[in-house]
Structure 1
Amino acid sequence: MVDGKIFICLPDFSGGGAEKVMMTLIKAFAVEHEITCVVLNENGPFIEKLPSVCHLKNLNCFSAKQALIPMIRLFRVEKPEIIFSTLGYFNFVLMLALWLSGHRPRRVVLREANSPASTIDSLAAKWIGKVGYRFLYNQANHVVCNAQYVSSQLVDFGVKSERIVVIPNPVDVREIHRLANKKMIFPKFNNPSLPLFVSVGRLSTQKGMDRLIDWFSLMEIGANLIILGDGPERLDLEKKISNHGLNDRVKIMNFQKNPFPYMKRADAVLLGSLWEGLPNVALEALALGKTVIASRECKSLQQMKDTKDVPDLTIPATDKAFVEELDNIARIRSERGTPRLAKLCSSLPSGFDVQKVSSKYGSILFGD
């Protein structure tokens, strides 16, 4: 047990991959440590995953910028011994607040969940991101990222390589299999016997759902597509579906706390992302033994495929090749006549095991 206070910080409890990873780690750490979870606000479905033994400090802010002063006060009063935080823009504000507070914890660990280049591109004042990585990140004891290509970008933006640790995302295969067997209501298709593809993610520019619909529309073999998620692009995506004449074969459902029954039924899980860190959806699909077809921009998945034996993961090199792979999967499914159910054994490499990953995080957070 750590003598001092342990703060695990994240913007909120929204249903993104970074938040899911942090909640998984909090659950693992709370078994042996007294954890305080610090959030800007309590928005999001993952608040249900917060263990009851954990303390919760809600800063009641709608943005990281707004939270600067409350964070300074919090650090001065509470004086945490260990701080663990995630997401680039949030990490910038947290590190600035920590410096201004005058408090110096025994250990600060930052987690970089996404591509640093994409974080900088998302900022109106890009110099803030460049300064944040070069100066604020180097004040942390460790910076954890989930893929080697993210590590390389961090170094390019000035983070010292000796501070960087690559640890993959934790995946609880047993829990995923348990949840995948739950009964869910599926959308109604005109022909439900067609091959089924599923894509899970926020309906935003990053996830590339628009081009996924475009690729799907170019298929020669008929198939159905379920998109699970909420976000600002929903109306535009629905319009695109209608323009392609796909209303009977493409359905958008709201964010699902449990997407795994849908993924289990899929002939393949699709990712059309324009950029990614290490996408949890792909890892979870592999944990279900599903075929994953990911866009070439998912560089961490390409690195995983290059270094590990992952036969169920396909990353087409071009848009045309992506469409051809969709047709190939649909053709195999049509010839077989029955959907491919989840395997008894996961095809996910063992390095993503939740206990192994939690242990690695625990070593850098709580070790001597």
Structure 2
Amino acid sequence: MDNSARPAVFIINSLEGGGAERVMVKLLAIMESYYYQLNIPVHLVLLDDLPESQVCPNYVNKTVLNSNGSLLEGYKLLKPLLKALQPTYCFSFLTRSNFLNIALARKLGFEAIISERVNTSSHFSGGLKDTVSRLLVKLSYKRAARVVAVSEGVKADLVENYAVPDSNISVLYNPYDIELLKTSAKEDVSDLPTKPYIIGVGRLVKNKNFSLLIDAYADAGIDESLVILGVGDERESLEALVKQRGLEDKVCFLGFKKNPYPYVAHAKYFVSTSNAEGFPNAIVEAMCLGKAVIATNCESGPAEIIAEKYPYQVNGASQEKNGILCQLNNKQGIVDAMHQLAEPKLLNAYEVKSSACAETFSYPAFREKVIAIIDQVTQ
């Protein structure tokens, strides 16, 4: 293939395990035919040399730098590379990559498309480093050719708190391969619980608020066990809470699973008690597998998915179009939602609604939205 066109460059910190890294690789795979038809070479630049949990598509030229998490070192290494490549545009994921993309765009004559994968205000919650990062976001993001928010909630935060013009932001929900998820869910696993259970999935960190899930589960007194998938620095304190509540025989920590889908597929329903999300992949993936969902109304994403409304407030537990949405940090709301899904008729109804909702996050719809974003900065 004659790659005479100026390339498209994608930038991310690394391909370690994480939602943003997974979506970056999916984006590149989904867009392969588009770039092939237009004869555009594609490059992926990783700022850090770290173990890779995601596999870059073969058609993409991958370059791994070694900035060791340093913004300054990243600038020094990325500048000569982009100067040599002369891209039409750079599309970046994650804050550090976004800063570098914007800083180099005007110097080197390309368009910067940046993607915000988390709710910025919730992500930078405190401390000097976070204060500096928030200031850099406010000063730099408005200078990007296009800002891509993963949800309406992330978009609203950027407009209200970081001076990014509403007209310069596109919302692009994450893509999901429903058939692949269903196939993955059929894989045999050796430690699948034999008794009925409900499930929560995510990093065991403070923001995911698994302590609320455990406390609410204890108060609900339901028959099903609780399975938690994930790793993180909160595990020890969460296990202590389980012991304190006398739940050692009912709560099971199964750690990180490269393929979590068999565990989700066999659960009675899915619960998320997170305090903050960029876009809650685990909720949509559970819906792709036909699971009813209980979720806290955190920033951002759950209300958009479950109630199809934003902004939106609830009190306690609220039965919405696609699941049960609960007030943030409201233990009784989670308890009530668990009691409501003990009713088989309601549970079955939400299983059907989950499957229907999941269809709106298809690969073809995602591809068309990405093309529209690219067209906005190149035409």
- The separation in 1 between residues aligned to 2:4 and 2:163, in whole angstroms, is 31
- The separation in 2 between residues aligned to 1:339 and 1:348, in whole angstroms, is 14
1:267 is matched with which residue? 268
**Paired amino acid for 1:201:** G
Q: Does 1:20 align with 2:26?
A: no
- The separation in 1 between residues aligned to 2:261 and 2:353, in whole angstroms, is 15
Equivalent residues in 2 for 1:27-176, closer than 5 Å:
27-33=29-35, 34-41=41-48, 43=50, 46-48=53-55, 50-65=56-71, 66-98=73-105, 102-105=107-110, 107-121=111-125, 124-156=128-160, 157-176=162-181
**Compared with structure 1, are the counterparts of its residues 198 and 125 closer, same or farther at alpha carbon in structure 2 (3 Å cutoff)?**
same
**Compared with structure 1, are the counterparts of its residues 44 and 347 closer, same or farther at alpha carbon in structure 2 (3 Å cutoff)?**
farther
Structure 1 residue 172: Cα displacement: 1.3
Where does structure 1 lack aligned partners over 5 or more consecutive residues? none
**Paired amino acid for 1:109:** I
1:361 is matched with which residue? 370
2:296 is matched with which residue? 295
- The separation in 2 between residues aligned to 1:153 and 1:345, in whole angstroms, is 27
SS at match of 2:114: strand
Where does structure 2 lack aligned partners over 5 or more consecutive residues? 36-40, 310-318
**CA contact under 8 A between 2:176 and 2:362: conserved in structure 1?**
yes
- The separation in 1 between residues aligned to 2:63 and 2:127, in whole angstroms, is 27
Q: Does 1:324 align with 2:344?
A: no
Q: Does 1:210 align with 2:215?
A: no
> How big is each residue's C-alpha offset from its partner over 1:165-197, in whole Å with a ceiling of 9 and x where there is no partner?
112211111211111111122255xxx43x311
**CA contact under 8 A between 2:99 and 2:140: conserved in structure 1?**
yes
- The separation in 1 between residues aligned to 2:326 and 2:134, in whole angstroms, is 32
> How big is each residue's C-alpha offset from its partner over 1:283-309, in whole Å with a ceiling of 9 and x where there is no partner?
111111111111122542213333379
**CA contact under 8 A between 1:241 and 1:250: conserved in structure 2?**
yes
**CA contact under 8 A between 1:219 and 1:323: conserved in structure 2?**
yes
- The separation in 1 between residues aligned to 2:305 and 2:349, in whole angstroms, is 24
**CA contact under 8 A between 1:168 and 1:357: conserved in structure 2?**
yes
**Paired amino acid for 1:266:** A
**Compared with structure 1, are the counterparts of its residues 345 and 291 closer, same or farther at alpha carbon in structure 2 (3 Å cutoff)?**
closer
* Identity of matched residues, %: 24
- The separation in 2 between residues aligned to 1:3 and 1:166, in whole angstroms, is 28
Structure 1 residue 239: Cα displacement: 2.4
- The separation in 1 between residues aligned to 2:220 and 2:331, in whole angstroms, is 12
Structure 1 residue 348: Cα displacement: 2.0
Q: Does 1:182 align with 2:194?
A: no
Structure 1 residue 111: Cα displacement: 0.8
**Compared with structure 1, are the counterparts of its residues 345 and 275 closer, same or farther at alpha carbon in structure 2 (3 Å cutoff)?**
closer
Q: Does 1:252 align with 2:253?
A: yes
Q: Does 1:226 align with 2:232?
A: no
**Compared with structure 1, are the counterparts of its residues 95 and 108 closer, same or farther at alpha carbon in structure 2 (3 Å cutoff)?**
closer
- The separation in 2 between residues aligned to 1:70 and 1:58, in whole angstroms, is 10
**CA contact under 8 A between 1:288 and 1:347: conserved in structure 2?**
no
How many matched pairs? 357
TM-score normalised by L of structure 2? 0.84
**Paired amino acid for 2:365:** K
**Compared with structure 1, are the counterparts of its residues 266 and 312 closer, same or farther at alpha carbon in structure 2 (3 Å cutoff)?**
farther
- The correspondence for 2:360, drawn from 348, 351, 368, is 351
- The separation in 2 between residues aligned to 1:220 and 1:342, in whole angstroms, is 22
**Paired amino acid for 2:32:** A
> How big is each residue's C-alpha offset from its partner over 1:172-224, in whole Å with a ceiling of 9 and x where there is no partner?
11211111111122255xxx43x311111112122112222222222222321
**Paired amino acid for 1:147:** S
